[in-house]
């Protein structure tokens, strides 16, 4: 029966090619616009470290005095960064399988090569566990040791692109590179590491797009007064000192291998919080410590820009109007064939059969609209890739999105066809025949 | 005279289709009103005037990597060399510039600690007014003996000693409504600063949707950070060549620096607004798409209606109705349906605007958007129904006697 309905649908489309084309156009435009934005949001909310992300967590403590932003900002105003004091305490306690403190920074790279002018490059100042925790693949060499952290060693790990830019095809391992007038020894080269989003960066930083090109010890950066890029918020009196317990600015990550360890770490955090309260810190009783998983942290930090979600809702609104239009057009098309329906009904077709017939016809239009929508979505994604934003290069459609596009188009058109098909199968056989 | 009675009866018999049309019109009206507002907001933003001689300026940033050097002296050396480039009429070193986002904001008041307005500070070497092409509407420019360094090394202490300032007309009107600002004292620190000049306009380094985009204040302070912007004035056709030469000149003088953001002022503006322009294009495309699709739906249903009523129309024609009567019948019917849709749509538009304001920092929808949006949809409805209605009016009275 299905192939017969297909044949009927095909014949019906041929009979009214303009109307059918308009319906395909409407479905295609709506689906294309929606799928463009859904794809962009889909790739942006992807897992930056597949296979690794489940083990990574962000502890969060709220060290603000009770007077600051208490009344209406409440928990929403809680910092999303660590003070130096707490980061160093948790680092020294070493209760997790790995823990690292970090901050974004940029330095002027002064190349030895005569043909290159100095340039700025973005990277991170981190502590030694950073590389093993995030499973960063090394091309050659390795990270540094905790002892080198303490010694404020002048060592640096380069990402593959910067390494190639500075040293050409032979890697720069063991060589010297000058950053902000200080010589650093290259002790490792990373094999082109580009997690998207750059989950360990503070929200509002460069979270999509170009990834870090260098990593150097946090304490070294502090000693050399290199430029730090992440937001620092301070309270109370006194100078804004990075090493005080009145300023939050560091990102802190831990690795926990098993659920038991996660539970244990939560307990540890709670204990740390009450201990510090006993010594007069953490006056905000309403803001207990948190431990976020990686994906939960990204959701908490709202890494997706608001204007993108607005664009998605706009596209979905567009799709709804397109569907309403298709409902109208299908209604016109189906009811126009009341005569045909009444003949089929008189010949013994049940209402169910008529309903199925028109459902199939709506589905056929959906398939065509889906294919057209794919074309529109590819054009839309191409235009997103031309944007100056960091997420632009991510706007690519994978197989699952390709299939969802066609499925969504079929679902939309079948949904749009429900009402017209139901109306069509209400046609009574005798009455219509009489009027003919 | 058009009889409304038969239309109402017909509509009541086709409640489903009429309801569908009303819904289609309402949704389209709600979305298009808000989208049009967002387009207009961005269009106004993109065209905001800067007050500068935009087509004669090029800018180039230099960051000296030697922290120990005397930065003011470095800037002077650089400027002397930049002025030697053929075609450069004048050159200055500045910190802030419209669209460069180097925004140093200060509270300004008529007494210490009594701020009336927040303004962005612009500091530069002598000749800034002339080079940027600012229009002085009252008073004078800065004199050579008024210039002092910013003293960035000590928390920009220059602000505590600067003797004079030039403000924009917008800021003057906020600080001294209805009177002349010339010679008056203003305060951002306990240090009294005398207003010696008023410029027509100078856009702040960051632009917003508020009415304070022109709240700028110029100080006779020399930039002394290692990060500085050079602005060169030249004939429009020389801009690209001058930029190229400026790059070379700066690197030849001292290679231990980063030179970046070398572009014409118009490129700087275009870069600043690139996101807004993209968004605007996207919004225009979706508004047009929405109207197109809504028109498709309306004309599709009208077509169907005409076809379904062929016999009825034939009978009416046979009973003496003119072609004009039939045409007007369908037009009136469409008008009434769209009117219902628009009434619902206006309410939806307000609701949608409130939702958008809650989540996406949209402003209040100006009320006049609603009648304009309604009129646009009426027009769209009439256009969409025109072809089917004309076809209906051409149905011959003989149709009444035929079977099919």
* Average of per-residue pLDDT values in chain B: 90
Spatial neighbors of A79 by CB under 8 A, at least 6 apart, are A60, A62, A63, A64, A233, A248
Tell me which residue of A374, A383, A393 sits closest to B281, measured CA to CA.
A383
The verdict on A19 touching B (C-beta cutoff 8 Å) is: yes
The pLDDT of residue A323 is above 80: yes
Domain boundary assignment for chain A: 2-45+305-435, 54-301
pLDDT at position A342 is 84
**Contact call for A329 and B308, based on CB within 8 A:** no
ipTM of the complex: 0.81
The pLDDT of residue B24 is above 80: yes
Q: Which residue from A minimizes the CA distance to B355?
A: A310
Identify all chain A residues contacting B300, using CB atoms and an 8 Å cutoff. 19, 22, 325, 328-329, 332
Determine which helix (DSSP H) or strand (DSSP E) holds A124, and give its type and residue range: strand A119-126
Average pLDDT on B148-153 reads 89
pLDDT at position A234 is 79
- Nearest by CB to residue A317, choosing from B31, B307, B361, is B31
Q: Which residue from A minimizes the CA distance to B295?
A: A325
Residue A275: HSE in the Cβ half-sphere, 13 Å Cα cutoff: 9
Identify all chain B residues contacting A119, using CB atoms and an 8 Å cutoff. 258, 260
Average pLDDT on B348-359 reads 90
CA distance B14 to chain A (A): 12
pLDDT at position A433 is 57
pLDDT at position A321 is 92
Most confidently modeled range among A323-332, B134-143, B366-375, B389-398: B134-143
Identify all chain A residues contacting B357, using CB atoms and an 8 Å cutoff. none
Q: What is residue A110's DSSP assignment? A: E
**Contact call for A328 and B298, based on CB within 8 A:** yes
pLDDT at position B264 is 96
- Nearest by CB to residue B279, choosing from A120, A307, A321, is A307
The verdict on A118 touching B (C-beta cutoff 8 Å) is: yes
**Contact call for B290 and A389, based on CB within 8 A:** no
pLDDT tens profile A370-428: 999 999 999 999 998 988 888 888 888 888 888 988 888 888 888 888 888 888 888 77
The verdict on A33 touching B (C-beta cutoff 8 Å) is: yes
**Contact call for B27 and A25, based on CB within 8 A:** no
């Amino acid at each position: 029966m299905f192939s017969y309905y297909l044949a009927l649908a095909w014949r019906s489309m041929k009979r009214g090619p303009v109307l059918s084309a308009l319906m395909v156009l409407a479905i295609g435009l709506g689906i294309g616009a929606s799928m463009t934005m859904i794809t962009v949001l889909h790739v942006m909310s992807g897992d930056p470290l597949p296979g690794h992300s489940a083990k990574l967590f962000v502890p969060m403590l709220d060290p603000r005095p009770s007077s600051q932003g208490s009344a209406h900002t409440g928990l929403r105003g809680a910092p999303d960064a660590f003070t130096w004091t707490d980061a160093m305490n948790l680092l020294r306690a070493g209760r997790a399988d790995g823990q690292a403190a970090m901050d974004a920074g940029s330095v002027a790279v002064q190349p030895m090569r005569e043909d290159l002018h100095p340039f700025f490059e973005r990277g991170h100042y981190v502590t030694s566990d950073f590389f093993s925790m995030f499973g960063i693949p090394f091309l050659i060499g390795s990270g540094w040791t905790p002892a080198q952290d303490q010694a404020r060693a002048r060592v640096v790990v380069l990402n593959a692109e910067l390494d190639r830019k500075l040293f050409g095809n032979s890697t720069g391992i063991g060589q010297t590179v000058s950053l902000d007038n200080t010589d650093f020894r290259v002790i490792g080269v990373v094999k082109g590491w580009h997690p998207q989003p750059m989950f360990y960066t503070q929200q509002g930083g460069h979270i999509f797009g170009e990834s870090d090109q260098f990593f150097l010890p946090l304490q070294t950066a502090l000693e050399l007064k290199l430029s730090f890029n992440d937001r620092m918020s301070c309270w109370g009196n006194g100078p804004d000192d990075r090493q005080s317990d009145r300023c939050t600015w560091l990102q802190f990550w831990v690795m926990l291998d098993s659920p038991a360890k996660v539970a244990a770490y939560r307990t540890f955090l709670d204990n740390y919080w009450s201990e510090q309260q006993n010594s007069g810190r953490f006056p905000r009783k309403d803001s207990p410590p948190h431990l976020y998983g990686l994906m939960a942290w990204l959701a908490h930090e709202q890494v997706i820009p608001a204007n993108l979600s607005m664009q998605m809702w706009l596209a979905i609104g567009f799709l709804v109007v397109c569907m309403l239009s298709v409902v109208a057009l299908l209604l016109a098309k189906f009811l126009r064939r009341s005569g045909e329906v009444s003949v089929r009904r008189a010949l013994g077709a049940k209402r169910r059969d008529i309903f199925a017939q028109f459902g199939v016809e709506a589905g056929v239009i959906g398939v065509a609209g889906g294919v057209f929508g794919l074309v529109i979505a590819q054009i839309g994604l191409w235009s997103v890739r031309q944007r100056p934003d960091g997420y632009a290069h991510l706007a690519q459609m994978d197989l699952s999105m390709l299939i969802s596009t066609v499925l969504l188009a079929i679902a939309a058109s079948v949904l749009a066809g429900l009402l017209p098909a139901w109306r069509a199968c209400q046609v009574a056989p005798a009455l219509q025949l009489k009027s003919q | 005279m058009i009889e409304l009675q038969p239309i109402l009866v017909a509509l009541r018999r086709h409640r489903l289709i009429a309801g569908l049309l009303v819904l289609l019109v309402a949704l389209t009206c709600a979305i298009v009103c808000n989208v049009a507002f967002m387009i207009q907001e961005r269009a106004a933003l993109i065209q905001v005037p800067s007050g500068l001689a935009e087509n004669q300026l090029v800018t180039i940033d230099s960051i000296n990597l030697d922290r120990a050097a005397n930065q003011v002296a470095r800037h002077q050396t650089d400027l002397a060399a930049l002025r030697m480039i053929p075609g450069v009429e004048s050159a200055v070193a500045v910190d802030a510039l419209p669209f460069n986002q180097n925004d140093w904001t200060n509270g300004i008041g008529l007494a210490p600690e009594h701020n009336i307005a927040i303004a962005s500070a612009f500091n530069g070497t002598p000749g800034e007014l002339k080079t940027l092409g600012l229009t002085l509407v009252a008073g004078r420019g800065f004199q050579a003996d008024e210039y002092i360094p910013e003293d960035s090394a000590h928390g920009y202490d220059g602000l505590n000693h600067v003797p004079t300032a030039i403000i924009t007309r917008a800021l003057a009107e906020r600080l001294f409504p209805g009177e002349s600002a010339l010679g008056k004292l203003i305060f951002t620190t306990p240090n009294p600063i005398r207003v010696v000049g008023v410029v027509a306009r100078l856009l702040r380094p960051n632009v917003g949707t508020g009415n304070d985009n022109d709240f700028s204040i110029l100080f006779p302070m020399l930039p002394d950070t290692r990060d500085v912007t050079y602005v060169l004035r030249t004939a429009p056709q020389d801009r690209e060549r001058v930029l190229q030469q400026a790059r070379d000149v700066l690197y030849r003088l001292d290679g231990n620096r980063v030179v970046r953001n070398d572009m014409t002022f118009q490129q700087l503006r275009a870069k600043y607004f690139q996101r807004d322009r993209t968004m605007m294009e996207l919004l225009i495309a979706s508004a047009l798409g929405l109207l197109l699709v809504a028109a498709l739906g309306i004309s599709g249903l009208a077509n169907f209606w005409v076809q379904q009523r062929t016999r009825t129309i034939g009978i009416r024609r046979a009973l003496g109705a003119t072609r004009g009567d039939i045409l007007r019948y369908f037009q009136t019917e469409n008008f009434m349906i769209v009117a219902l849709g628009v009434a619902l749509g206006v309410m939806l538009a307000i609701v949608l605007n409130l939702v958008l304001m809650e989540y996406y920092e949209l402003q209040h929808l100006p009320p006049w958007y609603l009648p304009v949006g309604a009129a646009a949809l009426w027009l769209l409805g009439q256009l969409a129904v025109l072809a089917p209605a004309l076809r209906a009016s051409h149905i011959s009275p003989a149709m009444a006697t035929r079977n099919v």
